[in-house]
Structure 1
Amino acid sequence: MNDYEKIKDYLFLGLVDIKWHRSELRNVVHKTIGDIAITLYVNAGSTEKGITYLKVRSEYLDEWGMEKDEVLHAALLNTYHMDPPRIYDLKRLLCDPDYEGEEFMNVEGYSISDEKKRAGICLSTKGFSNGAVAIFYPEVAEKLADFEDGDYYVVFGNVNMAVIYSAKLCHLEDLENALSDFYKNEVSHKAFLSDKIYYYPKKRNRFTMLQNRLKILITKIHMDNEE
């Protein structure tokens, strides 16, 4: 862990809700995005129970002689290559165990019907694990804006997915009501990510967190300096 050159290829990012992890995040490398922490992890190897991964403590930045944003950006690219973005049909996902979603970033002619836009575009990663982070991958947010032909809302169903709704086709009040009902019944603290709705205006290329119908600017798309 003390040598960045040896460990860098094993670093990746995941999203953590701040509400339930505030104390542990104090000493962990992360970047705050609204009520979400984009958090640095290291793949510590595999066991019989699966892959072991650990949050990276902030003290390692000094040992590596690296700036936080530089490390996070490199880890974001790692995450993209390890777990590429996919769009999912949730009904098919439930019925087909071999279904790994649909490639969309560099697929000529790929399109999404208005019916699916109204129902919500399910964004995740290949394998449907740690998929909510895919919204922050390079060029993904912009590509989704092209599909939506404009602005859109983002609802984080849990740490494994983000659901994208066209601002032209969906009403914010309906999304708020649906989100409230969903979190009352469905999500454990372990999988919980955010009960807020995020907004992406295509022309500004930024995410905004909605708080009581107010739009609060929180970040640029890319993993550059915080604002």
Structure 2
Amino acid sequence: MKRSEKIEYAQRFLQERIEKDFPYPFQVSGEENFFLFRLKNGRRECCARLRQSQEMLDVLCEGTKAEREVQVERLFDLLRAAIQAQASTALSEESDYEKVKNDLILRPLNYQSIREELEDVPHILAGDVALVLYAVMAHEGNDYFTAKMHRRQMESWRRPEREVLEEALVNTSFLYPPRIYCVEDILSWEKKQHGDGRFMTEGEAAPFRRGARGYLLTNSLEINGAIALFYPGVLKKLAESLGEDFYIAFTSIHEAQIHAAGMISPEAVEASLRDTNRHCNRREEVLTDRVYCYRKEEQKLGIIEDGEFLEVKRDE
């Protein structure tokens, strides 16, 4: 079986086992080398991810019954932890902010596609991109699950919403630091090294070089990595490293492509972005079809609309 066929088979198998043997109706889907498990419980929502490792796919598709049961039980342990966590920690309406603040993160989502869901969900709006407040309920390696927060769950914190959101953004940058890679390097690598992509601290061997056709910005986990553009100091650092204005194409929720303004036109960037969103991304992975731009001298972020620069100001 091809890898794509194994993924499809494994997804069906896991969905059937959840429906048959697990007491909560998680829905299984695929997302960028991960299986995604979603559960909506009233207005609460849990989201768990499990990496589609080759070993796991081989076991689910070709392993013995006992080997498959080990993988299923591993998944059920993760989902049980999600359910247990819903009734405690950050999701409790009596939670203590000081105890949960280090578990709060922001995730980048397409505002237009979820605007109705966000009526009671804390978020920062940056153009088409909503930076939405979530709580990390469990995290082991590349497998983790998060839960979307609602305002009523924050009432006991007695903190201004904007303050909570800004602190969550900083916390996200600590948990999942930004990484940037030159496109040419990615195409030639067999495997990234642990230190590859670091660029925020002086002395780190960042991949910036004159004439490069583009860079890929993400986070250390490479999940929901488009958020890295909004981390404190990242825009300014990118402009200093490139030495000029630059364009940003959010090619999915997981990353953004960075292009020096002197190397390509915004029209070309937009055409490529729209093609990527149309042919390569699932609907839930699309952030926007519009090209963002950062102006170095003015230190302003904006959207290019019909050739004009429209400044983006972050709003709650």
Residue equivalent to 2:208:
112
1:161 aligns with 2:273: no
The answer to whether the Cα contact below 8 Å between 1:120 and 1:163 also exists between their aligned partners in 2 is yes
Residue equivalent to 1:45:
138
Once the two structures are superposed, the pairs formed by residues 1-227 of structure 1 within 5 Å of their partners are 1=90, 2-46=95-139, 50-90=143-183, 93=186, 96-100=190-194, 101-108=196-203, 110=206, 112-116=208-212, 119-219=213-313, 226=315
How far 1:39 moved relative to its partner? 0.7
Cα distance in structure 2, aligned partners of 1:37 and 1:48: 26
How far 1:192 moved relative to its partner? 1.0
How far 1:88 moved relative to its partner? 2.1
Task: Provide the secondary structure at the position in 2 that maps to 1:169.
Answer: coil
Equivalent position amino acid for 2:102 in 1: D
How far 1:102 moved relative to its partner? 1.5
Task: Provide the secondary structure at the position in 2 that maps to 1:178.
Answer: helix
Cα distance in structure 1, aligned partners of 2:141 and 2:207: 40
Instruction: Give the 3 Å change call, closer, same or farther, for CA 150–46 of structure 1 in structure 2.
Output: closer
Equivalent position amino acid for 2:304 in 1: L
Q: Which runs of 5+ in 1 are unaligned?
A: 221-225
Cα distance in structure 2, aligned partners of 1:49 and 1:200: 31
More contact order relative to length (CA 8 Å, sep ≥ 6): 1
Over 6 Å off, 4+ runs: none
The answer to whether the Cα contact below 8 Å between 1:13 and 1:133 also exists between their aligned partners in 2 is yes
Can you list the C-alpha shifts for 1:60-94, whole angstroms capped at 9, x where unaligned? Answer: 33321111211111111111111111112456657
Q: RMSD of aligned C-alpha atoms?
A: 2.3
Residue equivalent to 2:77:
none
How far 1:215 moved relative to its partner? 2.2
Structure of greater Rg: 2
The answer to whether the Cα contact below 8 Å between 1:142 and 1:202 also exists between their aligned partners in 2 is yes
Cα distance in structure 2, aligned partners of 1:142 and 1:113: 17
The answer to whether the Cα contact below 8 Å between 2:200 and 2:237 also exists between their aligned partners in 1 is yes
Cα distance in structure 1, aligned partners of 2:159 and 2:135: 16
Identical counterparts, % of pairs: 29
Residue equivalent to 1:223:
none
The answer to whether the Cα contact below 8 Å between 1:15 and 1:36 also exists between their aligned partners in 2 is yes
Cα distance in structure 2, aligned partners of 1:135 and 1:49: 21
The answer to whether the Cα contact below 8 Å between 2:250 and 2:273 also exists between their aligned partners in 1 is no
How far 1:97 moved relative to its partner? 4.8
Equivalent position amino acid for 2:200 in 1: M
How far 1:179 moved relative to its partner? 1.6
The answer to whether the Cα contact below 8 Å between 2:236 and 2:296 also exists between their aligned partners in 1 is yes
Cα distance in structure 1, aligned partners of 2:267 and 2:159: 44
Instruction: Give the 3 Å change call, closer, same or farther, for CA 9–165 of structure 1 in structure 2.
Output: same
Residue equivalent to 2:71:
none
Going by fraction, where is helix more abundant, 1 or 2? Answer: 2
How far 1:18 moved relative to its partner? 1.1
Task: Provide the secondary structure at the position in 2 that maps to 1:190.
Answer: helix
Task: Name the count of aligned residue pairs.
Answer: 220
Q: Which runs of 5+ in 2 are unaligned?
A: 1-89
How far 1:6 moved relative to its partner? 1.2
Cα distance in structure 2, aligned partners of 1:138 and 1:96: 31
TM-score (norm 2): 0.64
TM-score (norm 1): 0.87
